[in-house]
Amino acid sequence: MAEETFFRKIINKEIPSDMLYQDDYVTAFRDISPQAPTHILIIPNKLIATANDIETEDEVLIGKLYTAAKKLALQEGIAESGYRLIMNCNRDGGQEVYHIHLHLVGGKPLGRLISV
């Protein structure tokens, strides 16, 4: 079982955030250390620690993260110019909070993430 994180407190509005979107499935808010002009975290309201912990029954929920990202990109005015969606997994993948979250990053040219 995953441990509770401060994201749960944001979902429950127990601590302040610059919340942009919330429904029964997902919550989205601005990152407190933005890496681009637009940097939003989109999290499931259900606690799932890492991408490795996503189960078959979570497939619809994960889809809702991406449809929320689409809505937010339109709202932020970056849908047409482009943006990046990132989900880190575990320590070597750069995950810092063990409650999965999708980073919506844009508002400037981002360049290549890695060379492939």
Catalytic residue numbers read 101
Nearest to 106 by CA among 74, 71, 72, 82: 82
CB 2 within 8 A of CB 99: yes
